[in-house]
Amino acid sequence: MTSQKTALAQGFIRCHDCGCLSKQAEQNNHCPLCGGRLHPRLPNSFQRTAALLLSAFFLYIPANIFPIMTYTRLGVGEPHTIIGGIFALINGGMVPVALLVLVASILVPLLKLLGIGLLLLNVHYRWQAHPKKWTMMYRIIAFVGRWSMLDIFMISILVSLVDMEGVAKVIAGPAATAFAAVVVLTMFAAKTFDPRLLWDKQD
């Protein structure tokens, strides 16, 4: 059933949206089924992914340095960074939840930045080994990315609930914007990366 030949090598283009495969033509590059624009690979995949990744990388620094929220209790303000929030959970004896936040807010974004960086290096230096494993890594990165939004949603809930002047109040900090931007940028970076580039350099 397999010919081990790529569609592109045979002059076919797969539509990104509906999956319809059609013969490449000089003009009229539109999908015959859904009418979408056809590209053999995602346009400028490498450059776009690299640009998004670099932006995410630089925003990752303020996201971890600045407080993500400030908790004011009876007039005393207490700013929390992402890591500070995790330590507060551990000190409160809530280790499982602390682990959950650690995975979603620290490990996933960090591994995503590293992972997408490695995927780009792989494509750039045309590493031939284990394309299947690299594709698997790409799939994991694309799948887990959205779960980093956990911290952002948690802040949105805390901000709306803990809003009692003079008693207790939670205010979102500047790191929340930076962190949200990191999540969105890395999600876009995973979306613009075309995994077929991992296979194009085979033989």
Binders of another protein among 45-64, rule CB under 8 A?
Answer: none
Q: Which is nearer to another protein, 56 or 155 (CB)?
A: 155
CB 123 within 8 A of CB 197: yes
In contact, 182 and 109? CB cutoff 8 Å: yes
The minimum distance between CB 150 and another protein, in angstroms, equals 5
Q: Which is nearer to another protein, 53 or 86 (CB)?
A: 86
Q: Is 5 in the site for another protein (CB under 8 A)?
A: yes
SS3 188: helix
Cα–Cα nearest to 71, from 88, 95, 94: 88
Shortest spacing between CB 181 and another protein, in angstroms: 7
Q: Which of 77, 102, 135, 186 binds another protein (CB under 8 A)?
A: 135
Minimum distance between the CB of residue 121 and another protein, rounded to whole angstroms? 19
CA angle 193, 199, 200 (to 5 degrees): 90
Alpha carbons within 13 A on the beta-carbon side of 196: 16
Among 77, 172, 192, 201, binds another protein (CB under 8 A): 172
Distance in angstroms (rounded) separating the CA atoms of residues 124 and 36:
29
Task: Give the residue among 61, 53, 63 at the shortest CA–CA distance from 178.
Answer: 63
Stretch that binds another protein, among 25-33, 50-58, 109-117, 119-127 (CB under 8 A): 25-33
Cβ of residue 141: shortest distance to another protein, in angstroms?
13
Considering only residues 94-123, where is the footprint of another protein by CB under 8 A?
94, 97, 100-101, 104
